Amino acid sequence: MQFRFIIAAAAAFALSFGGTQRASLAFDPPAAPPSVTPAPLEAPSPAASPGPAASSPFASPASPAPTSANVTPSAPPTPPTGRRLADFKVTADRIAFYSNRYIMEADGHVVVALGDGTHIAGNTFFYDLRLNRFVIAGAVRVTAALTEVKGAAFAEYFDFDRAYFLPILSQPDRWTFVAGDYAHPRFGRLEPGDTFFLPDLSGERVFLYAKNALVDPKQSVRFTPARINFGLTFVPFPTYFLNFSANPLFAQNALTGAYADGPLDFAGGEHSLATAHVRYDSIDHAFGAFELHEVSDNSYIVVSANPITRPLKQYNLLTFDRITPGVQIQSQIQETAFQSGFSRPLSATAYANVQLTASLAHSYLRLNDNSYFDSLLARPSTFGYDNGEQVYYYDDPTHPWIPDHPSNIQLTWSGFRHQINQLPIYFQLRSEAGVDTDTITPLQQLGGVNYYKEYDKALGIDITTKNITLRADPSGRHRDIYFTALFDRQREWFSLPHHIDTQVATGSITKVFDPQVIVLASYSNTNTGDFYGAQQSSAYPGSALYFNPFTGQTLQVSPGFRGFGTVRSFAQSLVFVPSEAIAFTTNMRENDDFPRPIPGTLQIIGDGLGYLNYGVTPYELDLDVRFRISRVFLLDVSRSNYFGFGGNQRWSQQFNFQVEK
């Protein structure tokens, strides 16, 4: 079933990519304005009172000179639906894009070619991508069909299909054009107060410069050629594609974690986006990656390859579809391969997850299917021996063949949160049933019996409180002291005769000193018990020995872990936000673990180094600082300190930094 799903998802991706990809890397410059030269005619007078004729920005060859008092515009033909919202093109001596403000500016020989063939020329141009309107000013000339209009400024509001114009007349006047009918201006209409507002961009950082821009309103802009600001210099690129669609499904991320990421969107359209990435982490250092989005209003497909410049690569495929308002399905398929370039890999593993979620009255159901493929390749012919056991491998023993294909299926029911009478207390119920399978390696061995399949079921409840005010601030400035509590209890039964009880109780007190400083103290108690009854000693033998690699001592684990443990934690946190640009968080945690924790060896954990301990480290200090680099990007710097443990972990540190968007 799993392979059929993978094939179906890949086929859906191929069809979606072929059907929705609509933009190419090539850029066609705006066509020249129409070659027909409008005949110069008499101009309308802007006022009803008699006076000298003004020089004409507008003329109609079939009628006498109209005035704003006696003109009754004829009804223009109804334009095709949506033609005013088609892509439009901008060319200029210089186009600048300000990513902090989402504003595009153009100067020098500006020409705007609208989707209906209208051309507007001028000296300077501003387009607000979020407000979806532009202003062009300075020696403006509007050419459409057999009509030419000249003036000082022109503004286009795409959302309302309205254009506003400042003609050059002896007396001030403003005209309104509806649905692109420039032959019949509407006189005397009210206009927005900021119609011809030109934004002040002094001091703002330019993200890129270009000569041409192809704009799909409310969706995207393609800049060609582009010179992108990398801080120290502007780096030239043949193209840059900016997607600013309001569709939240574009925000899905199929890449693995990294400290820093430099994305370059280079292709896309209304429903698609292709991005090349330069990323950095502590293991692979600088490397390249690729990500492709295909989205609609109710579905998405995201594909990524990361890193593509290192032998150990990870390929991800994410899919989602909202079938009905109450039913949705999503999946994640991941392949990890060790390969040179994109040649046949020396080893490859895969993981597939499918989730089907359906809403019920005051609750919801979720079916979760996980499958693991430890080796996708066929069994190799090369083999060796490990402790007398024959082991197959690809190329060398560091790429072993592992035939296991474990799977897990779970059906979960989750209730909504309900209030208990009028008390500030809420409860939520949950239940679960599932099955785990592995036909090669037993899931567990007990009493000399191998178990290759195991069924489980669980019931759980969590109880929480609202923020309970212990001491209100008499000044009314909300510098209060709050108390919150959480209690969670779950029991899980297995077909192999045992059950696990988990209980967590937490209480927290929060003090707000002012909006910039918050202090939190919490205490939690976690109890875990794995009950095997008469087979408890077989499942958890108490005579295990432990070798401490730091002290060189061999110790008996005392009192020994028999399946029951307790962790008590006391945490203190400080949140300091001196300004909108900086946020500082510190957290100190003291843990009392029973049975006592055992220090482990230094391991690679995620993107850094850490100690793989048995139990919870007694003391931990976490520091985190966030800097807002711009309105779009954040720099997050964090450090975790573990100390006072195992004779060697006196003051071990983990340092991370990450650039976020």
pLDDT given for residue 371 in this prediction = 94
Joined together, the tokens standing for residue 207 give: 């993200």
CA-CA distance, 174 to 185, in Å (whole number)?
9
Q: How many distinct structural domains can be found in the chain?
A: 1
Among residues 252, 263, 213, 246, the alpha carbon closest in space to that of 103 is found at 213
CA-CA distance, 436 to 2, in Å (whole number)?
15
CA angle 577, 257, 221 (to 5 degrees): 85
213 domain-assigned: yes
Among residues 342, 220, 204, 206, the alpha carbon closest in space to that of 274 is found at 220
pLDDT given for residue 604 in this prediction = 61
163 domain-assigned: yes
Per the structure, the complete domain to which residue 208 belongs is given by 26-34+85-230
Locate the DSSP E strands across 545-651. 545-547, 554-556, 564-579, 582-594, 602-605, 608-611, 619-628, 634-643
107 domain-assigned: yes
DSSP at 517: E
Joined together, the tokens standing for residue 63 give: 């009628």
Residue 194 maps to which CATH number? 2.60.450
Along the chain (661 residues), what's the average pLDDT of each consecutive run of 10 residues? 41 38 34 39 36 40 38 43 70 94 94 91 95 93 86 91 87 85 83 86 91 92 92 88 88 85 85 90 88 94 94 94 95 92 87 96 95 88 78 80 90 94 94 93 84 94 93 82 96 93 96 88 94 85 54 50 87 92 92 80 60 76 83 73 68 55 51
281 domain-assigned: no
71 domain-assigned: no
CA-CA distance, 90 to 113, in Å (whole number)?
7
CA-CA distance, 158 to 150, in Å (whole number)?
21
Q: ω into residue 595 within 30 of 0, thus cis?
A: yes
Joined together, the tokens standing for residue 555 give: 């110790």
pLDDT given for residue 659 in this prediction = 57
CA-CA distance, 283 to 608, in Å (whole number)?
8
102 domain-assigned: yes
180 domain-assigned: yes
399 domain-assigned: no
Helices (H), ranges, 243-300: none
CA-CA distance, 101 to 200, in Å (whole number)?
11
pLDDT given for residue 386 in this prediction = 74
- The number of C-alpha atoms within 13 Å of 420 and in the hemisphere containing its C-beta is 11
End-to-end CA distance of the chain: 38
